[in-house]
Amino acid sequence: GMTNSEWKVVLQSSCLRHHSVITAEGQSYFGHVAHSLFLYRGGLAERLSRLQNRERSAVSFWRHQRDSDCKMPSGDKCGILMLKIIEVHEECSMQVALCQKLLDPSSSVTSSSTDCSPVKMLKVLFTCHTAAQLKGQPDDIIHIHPPWLKLNLRNESIPVILNTHFTQRVTGNVKDSKDRKGSAVLPDRRRPVPLSLVFKIDTEPDNKSKCEEPQKVRVGSQPCCQEQPSTLNFTVNDSLLDVVETQGAAGWSETSIRVVVQRVYGLPSRDGLGASSAHQQPCGGRAELCLLIQDAYGIFSELQLQCNYVTAADIENYSSRWEGRACCLSGMKILQRTTRGRAPGLFSLIDSLWPPLLPIKIHGQDQGQLSCCSEINLPPPSFCYILAVHHSEGGDRIQEEDKISDFYLPPVVHTLDKILQVVDILQRCSFWATVIYMKPETIHSDSSPQEDTWMFVTDVTLQHTSEGLLRPRVLAVCIPPSCVLDLNLLQTLCGNLPRTLYFKDTVKENGRIICIERTVLSLQKPLLSYAAGVSEPTGPVILDELDSRTEANSLCSVKGIIIGVNERASFSWPACNKCGSNKLQQSAGNRIKFFGVIGREVGPLDCFVQAWSGHPDSSLALEEICLASPGSG
Amino acid sequence: NAVDLGAVLEQFSLVFCRLKFIFGPMALHALDLVDLRSVLHITSPCGRSTYQVTGSSGKTYTCYKSCHYCSCPAFIFSVLRKNDSMLCKHILAVYLSQAMGACQELSVSDQQMCDILLAKDG
Amino acid sequence: MAQVLCRVLCELGKHPRGCCLQGPGAGSPQDPDPVRKDSPISVQEEPGYGPQGPPLLLLGPSRSGKSGLLFMAAVLAAEEGAGPVIFLSRDPLQKVPGTGRTARDPLTLKQIRFLYPATPEELLRQLSSLHLASPSPSFLLLDGLERYLPPCSGPAEGAHISALLLDAASHLRCGLVVSAVPPADGTEGPFMAVERYFPTRCQLYPEMTTDVEETAAAYNIAFSNYLPEWILHVQEDGKLKIFPIKAQRPADT
């Protein structure tokens, strides 16, 4: 029958040119130590087991995504097989579906009889698991997502499709699918396969197990040989999952792994005294140095470096040393496995690095083979391992290569107008912009900030915006204490504004930027930047005028006429002659006091907007600020 | 010889995915038997030959060369009765061992071959 | 197809005017066009099998003439002179089945070795020792497999015997024909396993026809998936006659 020959060819094509295996001559293998359930370490079965686990989680992830995600992206369909089931039957606990390839993705109608091109038929194999989910019937349309595998068999004109775990039935009829849950017509079970047939495995003469030179490559070793298991493992691996799964939770791995360092950043130090960020560090700004690494299979991991003493200032040094380069790591320990739900900040950074720049390897796929899967279709990772490694200067745990890796995805540095227009909310973005004001204006040199720091940035694209464009001239950047800041940097900024700064991997929110964990601020100008040709703003900075859209924690320019003075508190109320609807209030911290002010014209003043207060009248608290113009101070 | 090993293992991954898809969990057990070099190819001077596979429990099962037969209970149940599969893990291990050259070899006399073929479980 | 059995049928159905009955085409059981009227019987080499083709399982109710057919096949095989013919049966043949045709040379019958293993274990031992026989057998026949599969046995026993039969035939590169009475009901039990090892089958099943002598029983002969082409008449004295279904003309043996 059909299945016989295709299994035969699967086995024939699976014939491996295996290097000679050491066998003890003349040893008869009767009797054998009973071994327990787990597989022989370092053996082929263990390798397959790892592949299986990986595949299983990929399949369940895909299924979960598919179920929760009703609409299919209508864009890129490359790599997806769109088929119509003609007939389906069961053979030896697998389901075999004879299918017709659909030419037009949007039509469920087969090509008309006037079409001269031969109809492309395919035989698709499903495991019983997939078949139970799919409940395929004749005339159903199915989509098989990559990675699937196509086999052209000898003596068979119809190719066979394997690895069909990612298959989905796309039939428009909702009612139809409900009916499926009931008594569906079961596909017939073909007659059992005759057992009188055997497969012939082609083996070449050099494949015999007798070996003359014992020192060939060994795959798996004799259980009775005294051998160090580490000799098999001590190779440079390029798969994070392999290392993680071989190691398990305990101990430091002896395996080396080759990865690309995509990002270097600091995370707030967890001292074991709780996650309280209010804990004051005497030496100021202590942080945990972390690397976001990626292996050849596209898998990410966050690597925490356990160093003697690292400040946020060191991050810049390590970044220039390691970021973008391939490194060989050894001696890692697995701390935990985290998921998208538990670490949204980490995954927003990972998402910004997806899809990868170069084709990644896929477990179980031949790299040279026709890859029916494009990276656009690969979903971004849903899990990430957190690893740790000891690092000391002069140590050999991290060995970087000289040139920048092709795999490195540097941050895309935009101008601020593009950040506002192009970047989506909650996406990571990077920019090079001039900080014109900072709040608080002075920084205590010793400790990390305990409250939000605000920076207000602008650049030429925002300053020179044409009238009529509803775009702010200044963008507010919020830096909560959880973002590791270099105190030296802050001190440099204090009193030295305006200063241009590189904001790397910040997160865009509605109308403002927020620096969360893993954002890095640096005085160093990035090498690759869309802002490269754009000059820095010269002349006084223009602020947006105060109006009804003004928000708290922003800068604005206000002008108006004083209509009243609170003599008790030395307040005065200029009324904005622009929108006229707000009563304005100047805070007590103002430097300029108004005496006899009523009727006097005021402004334009540069102000920091503190807060709206709702009662009794809607009013804004403003604080006048002094912006130094570029080129001064 | 790390590069060689890497290349060989790369091929293994590709092949194993196909094996696993078609044969399911049995592929894992069969590979385990291959790892442990559990397949013994027994030959006799007249040319008649057969296979013996040492199972995970230590019992040996006989698999014939010219047709799919194994003396193990799983063969009787899954293959003969339920037709869930066309072979058992021992037969698959025989094929894999043949392909990989991982069979142990044993020569016996013609007379001894009679007993072995009777497939009395050891 | 088991060429010898085809030749047996041809022998039985030989028309006195000298035309041979066409046997079924030498195709695989899945061949969609089984009857090729223009092709005479030819010996087909199939991989793994000897020149006789794949093993054949002959099924039919008791006393439907299977032993006779098998015996005739043994004679024809012995006449080939390729080597001794092994005829296995649990019970010795009461008499030489009346095919009416004896071997041309009486010495030919000496080439047939009749062995009567009494129990399944003895049968297995015979089969596992066949490679010791010298000279090497050229044909293997087993009459009445069901007698070695009592109701208490299961698929394991059926599979073991069948697999060892195939193994012996494969090693010796000899032809194999096995006859058996299929169980009356269901497919559970040892016979289910036997059928898995013999995809090539020939079935005899009773024919209800009026134009037949009262002393004879009639059976249709059908190869796997094919429509019956002949009718076999078994007379009380054991004589066998064969008639093609379409021709409707009896041929004498």
Q: Is the pLDDT of residue A122 over 60?
A: yes
Q: Is the pLDDT of residue A232 over 60?
A: no
Select the highest-mean-pLDDT range: A112-116, A184-188, A367-371: A184-188
Distance CA C83, CA C135 (A): 7
Residue A514's CATH number = 2.40.50.140
Residue B62 lies in a domain: yes
Check: pTM over 0.80? Answer yes or no.
no
> Closest Cα of chain A to C28: distance in Å?
11
Q: Which of A438-442, B102-106, C143-147 has the lowest mean pLDDT?
A: A438-442
Q: Which of A23-27, A261-265, A358-362, C45-49 has the lowest mean pLDDT?
A: A23-27
In percent, the amount of chain A with pLDDT more than 90 equals 8
- The shortest CB-CB distance from A201 to any of B35, B37, B95 is to B95
- The shortest CB-CB distance from B48 to any of C156, C163, C171 is to C171
* C16, C253 contact by CB (below 8 A): no
Residues of C with CB under 8 A from a CB of B: 48, 124-125, 127-129, 131-132, 154-156, 159-160, 163-164, 166-167, 170-171, 192-193, 196-197
Name the residue in chain B with its Cα closest to that of C134. Answer: B46
* A279, A305 contact by CB (below 8 A): no
Mean pLDDT (whole number) for A190-203: 72
Residue C39 lies in a domain: yes
pLDDT at A298: 85
Q: Count of B–C CB contacts within 8 Å? A: 61
CB-CB neighbors (< 8 A) of A49 in chain B: 28
- Same domain? A334 vs A356: yes
Residue C180's CATH number = 3.40.50.300
- The shortest CB-CB distance from A195 to any of B16, B28, B68 is to B68
Residue B7 lies in a domain: no
The pLDDT tens digits for A240-250 are: 877 777 665 55
Q: Count of A–C CB contacts within 8 Å? A: 19
pLDDT at C31: 31
**How many domains in chain A?**
4
C-alpha dihedral over A11, A12, A14, A15, to 10 degrees? Answer: 120
Mean pLDDT (whole number) for A578-590: 45
The domain boundary residue, chosen from A201, A226, A257: A201
Residue B1 lies in a domain: no
- Same domain? A191 vs A90: yes
**How many domains in chain C?**
1
Residue C253 lies in a domain: no
C-alpha dihedral over B13, B17, B18, B20, to 10 degrees? Answer: 130
- The shortest CB-CB distance from A203 to any of B8, B15, B98 is to B98
Residue C249 lies in a domain: no
Distance CA A139, CA A127 (A): 20
Query: Of B12, B51, B79, B92, which to mutate for an interface test with A (greatest number of A Cβ within 10 Å)?
Result: B12
pLDDT at C202: 85
Residue B102 lies in a domain: yes
Confidence of residue A185 (pLDDT cuts 50, 70, 90): low
Mean pLDDT (whole number) for A493-510: 88
Confidence of residue A593 (pLDDT cuts 50, 70, 90): very low
- Note down the domain range covering B46: 24-117
Nearby residues of B45 by Cβ (< 8 Å), 6 or more positions away: B109, B110
Select the highest-mean-pLDDT range: A7-16, A201-210, A448-457: A448-457
Q: Report the complex ipTM.
A: 0.88
Select the highest-mean-pLDDT range: A125-129, A522-526, A562-566: A125-129
C234 versus A335: the higher-pLDDT residue is A335
Q: Is C9 helix (H, G, I), strand (E, B) or coil?
A: helix
Q: Is the pLDDT of residue A438 over 70?
A: yes
Residue B9 lies in a domain: no
Q: Contact partners of B by the rule of 3+ C-beta pairs under 8 A?
A: A, C
Residue A157 lies in a domain: yes
- Same domain? A17 vs A131: yes
Residue B3 lies in a domain: no
Query: Of C191, C196, C200, which to mutate for an interface test with A (greatest number of A Cβ within 10 Å)?
Result: C196
Mean of all residue pLDDT scores within chain A:
69
CB-CB neighbors (< 8 A) of B69 in chain A: 195
Residue A632 lies in a domain: no
Q: Is the pLDDT of residue A322 over 50?
A: yes
* A43, A220 contact by CB (below 8 A): yes
DSSP 8-state assignment for residue A318:
H
pLDDT at C101: 54
Distance CA A377, CA A393 (A): 41
Residue C40 lies in a domain: yes
Q: Contact partners of C by the rule of 3+ C-beta pairs under 8 A?
A: A, B
pLDDT at B75: 92
C222 versus A8: the higher-pLDDT residue is C222
pLDDT at A211: 24
Residue B31 lies in a domain: yes
* β-bridge mates for residue B50, sequence order: B42
Q: Is the pLDDT of residue A504 over 80?
A: yes
Contact at CB, A363 and B6, closer than 8 angstroms: no
A172 versus B74: the higher-pLDDT residue is B74
Query: Of A156, A190, A195, A198, which to mutate for an interface test with C (greatest number of C Cβ within 10 Å)?
Result: A195
* C182 close to A (CB below 8 A): no
Contact at CB, B98 and A196, closer than 8 angstroms: no
Low-confidence stretches of chain C (pLDDT < 70) are: 1-52, 95-105, 186-188, 208-216, 224-227, 238, 245-253
A261 versus A31: the higher-pLDDT residue is A261
Contact at CB, C196 and A198, closer than 8 angstroms: no
The pLDDT tens digits for B3-53 are: 444 455 555 566 677 777 888 888 888 888 888 889 999 999 999 999 999
Contact at CB, C163 and A198, closer than 8 angstroms: no
The domain boundary residue, chosen from A155, A175, A201: A201
Mean of all residue pLDDT scores within chain B:
83
- Note down the domain range covering A425: 413-522
Name the residue in chain B with its Cα closest to that of A366. Answer: B14
**How many domains in chain B?**
1
Query: Of C149, C160, C187, which to mutate for an interface test with B (greatest number of B Cβ within 10 Å)?
Result: C160
Name the residue in chain C with its Cα closest to that of A194. Answer: C196
Which among C32, C40, C56, C50 is positioned nearest to C178, based on CA atoms? Answer: C56
* Residue A611, phi then psi, degrees to nearest 5: -160, 150
Confidence of residue A471 (pLDDT cuts 50, 70, 90): confident
pLDDT at C226: 64
Residue B41 lies in a domain: yes
Confidence of residue A342 (pLDDT cuts 50, 70, 90): confident
Q: Is the pLDDT of residue A311 over 70?
A: yes
- The shortest CB-CB distance from B114 to any of C128, C156, C197 is to C128
- DSSP annotation string for C52-64: T-S-EEEE--TTS
pLDDT at A302: 94
pLDDT at B112: 93
